[in-house]
Structure 1
Amino acid sequence: RFLVMEVFGRYAGFTAMLPTMAGAANRCVIPEYKFDMEHLTELLCYDRARHPSQYSVVIVSEGAMFEGGEMMFSGRTTDAFGHAKLGGIGDLVSAELNDRSAKYNKGKSIHVINQRLGYMVRGGDPDAIDSIVPMAYGNLALDLILHGAHGRLVVLKNGRYDNVPLEVVTSTKKTVNVDKYYNKERLRPLYTDFEMQPLFIMASD
C-alpha cells in the first residue's frame, strides 16, 4: 500500500522536508517545486517493492502543486489572517496514485491510505529539545523586556540563542532553497554536505 500524508505549511515545504529527512517518509512534494505525478508514482512503486512490508510513504505539503496544476484550496473559508485555507492536494495525489500504480505493479492497482495530519503534527509528546528551547526563549524574551528592548525576536541562530529585529521574519517569505536542499529527481531532501551545517538544517538559513 501507499500512505499519503498531507501536512500544513502553505507556501513553504519545511514541514514536509524535515520529517522526510528524519525518516518518516520515502518521498515528499513541496510548494517550491512542481512535481510530475507519473514520476512520483514510479518512485513510490520502486520504494514499495524494496520494503519488506510492501509499503511506501509520501508527505505532501498542503501547498504542493503538480505540473499543470495549481494550489488547492479547501472551500472559500479563510484563516484568522484572511488567507484562503489550503487543502485537498493529498486527496488528489491519492486518487492519481491509485489510478497510475497498476502500470508499475504488474497491472494491479495499489491501495492508498490518505491522511490529512494538519495540526496533529504538533500533538506529539515533547522531547528534551521541545522542552528546553521554549524555556530558554521565555527567559531571553523576559530579559529583553527588562532591558527595555522592543521589536526584537528571540531566535536560534547558527546553533546559538540570539535575538533579531522583527523585520527579519516579517519582511520576506521564508521558503525552501530547492537548489540547495531538495533533490528534484528523487523528490526528497538532499542527503549531502552536512559538515558544519547548523543543528536545524534548512530552517537555520
Structure 2
Amino acid sequence: FLVIEVFGRYAGFTAMLPTMAGAADRCVIPEYPFELEHLLELLIYDRNHHPSNYAVVLVSEGATMTHHEEMSFESEEKDQYGHRKLGGIGDKVAAVLKDLSPKFNQGRRINVVNQRLGYLVRCGDPDALDSIVPMAFGNLALDLVLSRTSGRLISLRNGCYDNVSIDVVVGRKKVVDVHKYYNTDRLRPKYETFMRQPLFIMTSDV
C-alpha cells in the first residue's frame, strides 16, 4: 500500500480532487471519521485487482478514525492563530494497516509505504494556468484598489473572472458536503454526472 498524507485540517478537498482524478484508490477526509478495518478491506480489494498489485490512499491531515476522534498533531506548539501543527495521521494509518493486513490477507503481511507530502506539493514548476490566473487576479485586485472598492475578493465564477463579497470566505468554513460528494461506503468521491457541473465539481458550492 501507499499512504499519502496531504493538506486539509477541516476540509478534504485536497484529498478528494486527486482521488477523483485517479491519483488514488481511496481517500479519507476530516468531515467523516473512518473505520480503519473498512479502509483496509477496500485497499486489499484494490490491490488484488490492480495489475501492479498495489493500492493508494490519500489521507487528509485532519482526518480522524472512528475509535480515536481527535486530530493528530506533531507537537504542542501553536502558530500565531492558536492552531497546533497537524501531522502524523498518515504514520498512524500506515502502521495499523500493516499490522492488521494479515487478518484480511490470508495471514500474509502487506508492506506499506507512507509519504507525507506537506509542502512538497507546492514545489513543482507552474504550468500556464498557474501563471496566468495569479497575474489576472493581481490585475483585478489592483483595479479594485484604484476604484477605492473594498470588502471584495477576486474569484472565478462560472468560468469567468469576477469579484465577490469577502463574507463568502470569512462567513463560514467551507467543507465537503459529505452527503452530496463523498461515498462513505467506498471512501471515494461521489458524483453521478458531469453534465452542467462546474469544472471542479465539489469545490464550487458557495
TM-score, normalisation: structure 2: 0.95
Which residue of 2 is the match for residue 42 of structure 1? 41
Moved beyond 4 Å, runs of 4+: none
SS of residue in 1 equivalent to 2:122: helix
* Unaligned ranges ≥5, structure 2: none
Deviations 1:99-120 (A, max 9, x none): 1111222211100001111111
SS of residue in 2 equivalent to 1:202: helix
Identity of aligned residues (%): 67
SS of residue in 2 equivalent to 1:59: strand
User: How far apart, in 1, do the equivalents of 2:129 and 2:189 lie?
Assistant: 23
TM-score, normalisation: structure 1: 0.95
User: How far apart, in 2, do the equivalents of 1:17 and 1:204 lie?
Assistant: 13
* Unaligned ranges ≥5, structure 1: none
Deviations 1:63-120 (A, max 9, x none): 0011121211111112232211111111110011001111222211100001111111
**TM alignment of 1:93-132, pairs within 5 A:** 93-132=93-132
User: How far apart, in 2, do the equivalents of 1:79 and 1:20 lie?
Assistant: 30
The structural deviation recorded for 1:143 is: 1.1
Q: Does 1:64 align with 2:59?
A: no
Counterpart code for 1:66: M
User: How far apart, in 2, do the equivalents of 1:41 and 1:150 lie?
Assistant: 50
Deviations 1:135-171 (A, max 9, x none): 1111111111111111211011222211112121011
Which residue of 2 is the match for residue 157 of structure 1? 157
Which residue of 1 is the match for residue 21 of structure 2? 22
SS of residue in 2 equivalent to 1:39: helix
User: How far apart, in 2, do the equivalents of 1:74 and 1:160 lie?
Assistant: 40
User: How far apart, in 2, do the equivalents of 1:191 and 1:68 lie?
Assistant: 28
SS of residue in 1 equivalent to 2:203: coil
Which residue of 1 is the match for residue 183 of structure 2? 183
Equivalent pairs, count: 204
The structural deviation recorded for 1:28 is: 0.3
